[in-house]
Every structure is written in structure tokens, then in C-alpha cells.
Structure 1
Amino acid sequence: MKRFAWALIAVSLVACTTTDPYTGEQKASNAAKGAGIGAVLGAVVGAATASKDDRAKGALTGAAAGGAVGGGVGYYMDRQEAELRQSLQASGVQVRREGDTIRLIMPGNITFASGSSDIRGDFYNTLDGVGKVLAKFDETAVRIAGHTDSTGSLDLNQRLSESRADSVKRYLVSRGVAGGRIHTNGYGPRQPIASNATESGRQANRRVELELIPLNK
């Protein structure tokens, strides 16, 4: 049974191996990994619940069902990630994949003027592309987080981070993304990703992040 289960994983991963367009590396997609694990679990359950004479058939049936469930969310997020990467090439926005979550990191220097929560006019096209993809893939929740550097008072930075997150939400809603899917928070300077002792570090900390989370996980 173990041999059969690992064979299913191998088949799933080989069948769904893709080429990363940015590195040229051959790798298994998240959908393939989920399908492989789901297939194994389904095979084990199917074999365990079948009669002795029907264990092979039960394993195959369970593997098929488990593979479909395991690959569904991963495949959906794979497609969304691919369209976001295509839309955001050369935009300055970072796209990061963390399991079934997609994170978009928007540096403050390309999204807002210093000290302002008004979206820069030259960033509209980028947000238009994000909004188009999010409206299409409507089975994800969107968390928008605003962040600042440590320059200025804590109260001012907190309000600025909240206002920037709200500005991005309003713009995405204006582009067809349902407001009920979007939740905003401002964190001020409390979650730095670089040192505030340098200009480059402060620039990295002034950012808005979008976290895309599957609703049907």
C-alpha cells in the first residue's frame, strides 16, 4: 500500500511539473503538490474502508477523489498568481507565494507621495491590473495592510498607514472588486522589514501589502 501511495505522488508531481518563467527552473506547482498529498490520503482511506477483496479498487477511487480536492485550491491560486505576475512585470510590485497565500508588496515610493495617502497618478495602471485579476478570481479574500517607517510621531504614522490601506481598498472597489472581500489594517512603523537607520531601509518599510487568501480552503 505504501508503495502504491508513493507511486501516486510521483505520477502527480511529474504530470504537473512546470517551468518557472522567471528562473527557467523545472518545479512542481502548488496544485501538483496538493493533488499528490490528497491522492495519497484518499488512497489510504479508500483502501482502509473497502473490503479485503476491493482494497485496490477502493484505493484508486479514494486517490482520484483526494487528488481532485487537494489540487483544487492550489490550482486556483496558481492561475491567479500567474496572471498577477504577468500583469505586474516591471511595475515594482513584488509577488510572493506562501503556500496557498499570495502576497503583493507595493513600495511606498511607487504608490504614494511622501506623507500622503493619495495614490500617485502613475500607479493607477498598476492597480487597474491588480483589480482586474482580483475581480476575476473572486474566491479569495483580500487583506490590505499599510506600513510606514519610524520617522515622525507614532500617532501620525498610524493614521497614515490606515489611510493608505483604505485608499487602495477604495480604488480596487472602484475597479469591480467586492468591498466585502477586502479587509484593511494600518500598522504604522510596528512591522518593519528593514532597518529604519538607513534611507533604503525606511523606503522599504513605507509600503502597502495585499494578502490574497483562498475562501474555500
Structure 2
Amino acid sequence: MTRKLTVALLLGGAVAVAGCTDPALLDPNADHSKAQQGALLGGVLGAGVTAVTGGGGKNIALAAAAGAVAGGLIGNQLDKQAAELRAQLANDGITVTNTGEQLVVSLPQDITFDTDSYTVRPSLRSEVGKVADNLVRYPNSSVQVIGHTDNQGDATYNFGLSQRRAGAVADLLQAGGVGYGRLQTIGRGEEQPVASNLTPEGRAQNRRVEIVVIPNQG
């Protein structure tokens, strides 16, 4: 089998695995295992990279095995971490989504901040503290804290507010023991809605701060 054909088959396999995801996995609070999916994708992509860079059949097999192990370990860690977070967080408004590659903890604005404020409400500080405790127990990851708004009002103001809110949540995570070097704060303003801004319900979903946990690959 030629190298080009090998690469094509490997990449096709990765697409097929990704395409077979059960739609039920989109439920952010469902406990679906991502370890097997991570192992499959890790193995396929590890072999693909080796083939592209000129590795022989034995090297491709070793890379596939190594990729499968790494992908399975990351998937297993995310499964455990997500399950613990869901068990610990008492506020039903906070969602934990396991994408298979990262965790996304979403804090809706309406329960986290007062209108036009970037001070985290006292009632939510303990919840953010629980997230910090979880991150300390799982140190092998980087963390992005991303602020989002709806499209109401001035876009420049919304962007600045999203930055300040992300910074406020990141400060609480750092105070809870999360190392400064793991944290990155990002303001998106109204650029990345997850629902329609044409309805009050949609705008409420768009106003949020996300804590994105990205496992280290090394």
C-alpha cells in the first residue's frame, strides 16, 4: 500500500469516527464516556502523522499505539473531571460540557453578575471556588476564561465588559489555587453567540463566561 493511500485511509478513518458520534453526547450534563473516542482518534491521527513524515509500517503501528494510549488517557481524565464537577456544583444554571477534547464550564451572566457589573455575585463565588478546587486536583491542563455578551448596546462597550468579567472569574480561580501560568483571559464581546440574539431567551444564553479546560498533550 502506498504512503499516500495509507494517509488517505487513516484520515478517512478519523473523519468516520468523528462522524459517528451519538447526538445524545451533545447533552452537556450527560455522563457519556469520551475515553474510547479519544483513543480511536489518537491512534488514527498518531499513525497518520507518522505516515506523512515518512515513518515505515512498524513506526506507524507504534505511533498508532502511542496515540491511542494518549488519547484514551486524556478522554478518561475528562470523563472523571466532568463527573466530579457536575457532582460538586450546586447551581443548576451552570453547565459542564465534555467535548472529548476539552471541558467547558459555562457561567450564565444572569446568575453570575449584576447588570453592567463585573463583580462576581457572592452566591456564585463558592461555585467558582469549587471549579478552582477541581482544577487544582487536575493540574495537567491549561485554562481559558472567556467572556461573552449579547448584541445589545455598544459593541465596544460589550467587548470591554466581557474582558473585565473574564478577568474577574480568572482572579477567583487564581485565588482558589490555580496557577497564574495556567490561566488565559479572553474577551469575545458579542462575536460568538450560541443562540439567537433575536429573543430574550437567546440573548440570556449568549451572556456568559466560559471556563475552558484544555488537557496538555505532553
Q: Report the TM-score, using the length of structure 2 for normalisation.
A: 0.72
Change in Cα spacing, 1:31 to 1:161, as seen in structure 2 (3 Å) is same
Count of residues in correspondence between the two structures: 182
- Whether the 8 Å contact between 1:140 and 1:214 is mirrored in structure 2 is yes
Q: For 1:187, what is the secondary structure of its paired residue?
A: strand
- Whether the 8 Å contact between 1:148 and 1:189 is mirrored in structure 2 is yes
Structure 1 residue runs of 5 or longer lacking an equivalent are 1-19, 51-58
Distance 1:188 1:198 in 2: 18
**Alignment pair present for 1:88 and 2:92:** no
**Alignment pair present for 1:31 and 2:44:** no
Opposite residue 49 of structure 1, the aligned amino acid is: K
Q: How does 1:189-208 map to 2 (within 5 A)?
A: 189-208=190-209
Change in Cα spacing, 1:186 to 1:69, as seen in structure 2 (3 Å) is closer
Choose the corresponding residue for 1:49, options 37, 48, 58: 58
Opposite residue 122 of structure 1, the aligned amino acid is: S
Change in Cα spacing, 1:198 to 1:64, as seen in structure 2 (3 Å) is closer
Q: For 2:189, what is the secondary structure of its paired residue?
A: coil
Q: How does 1:94-173 map to 2 (within 5 A)?
A: 94-173=95-174
Identity %: 38
Change in Cα spacing, 1:67 to 1:113, as seen in structure 2 (3 Å) is same
Distance 2:117 2:70 in 1: 45
The aligned counterpart of 1:15 is: none
Distance 1:70 1:185 in 2: 27
Spell out, residue by residue over 1:27-77, the C-alpha distance to the aligned partner (whole angstroms, 9 max, x if none): 6x22233345667888xx9xx539xxxxxxxx8x99876653342211222
Opposite residue 142 of structure 1, the aligned amino acid is: V
Tell me the CA shift for residue 95 of structure 1.
1.0
Q: For 1:216, what is the secondary structure of its paired residue?
A: coil
Instruction: Find the structure with the greater CA-based Rg.
Output: 1
Change in Cα spacing, 1:72 to 1:187, as seen in structure 2 (3 Å) is same
Tell me the CA shift for residue 199 of structure 1.
1.9
Distance 1:170 1:139 in 2: 20
Change in Cα spacing, 1:66 to 1:123, as seen in structure 2 (3 Å) is closer
Tell me the CA shift for residue 201 of structure 1.
1.9
* Root-mean-square deviation over aligned CA pairs: 2.8
Change in Cα spacing, 1:132 to 1:23, as seen in structure 2 (3 Å) is closer
Q: Report the TM-score, using the length of structure 1 for normalisation.
A: 0.72
Q: For 1:106, what is the secondary structure of its paired residue?
A: strand
Structure 2 residue runs of 5 or longer lacking an equivalent are 1-26, 52-56
The aligned counterpart of 1:182 is: 183
- Whether the 8 Å contact between 1:194 and 1:204 is mirrored in structure 2 is yes
Change in Cα spacing, 1:125 to 1:159, as seen in structure 2 (3 Å) is same
Mean alpha-carbon deviation: is it higher for 195-204 or for 143-152? 195-204
- Whether the 8 Å contact between 1:147 and 1:188 is mirrored in structure 2 is yes
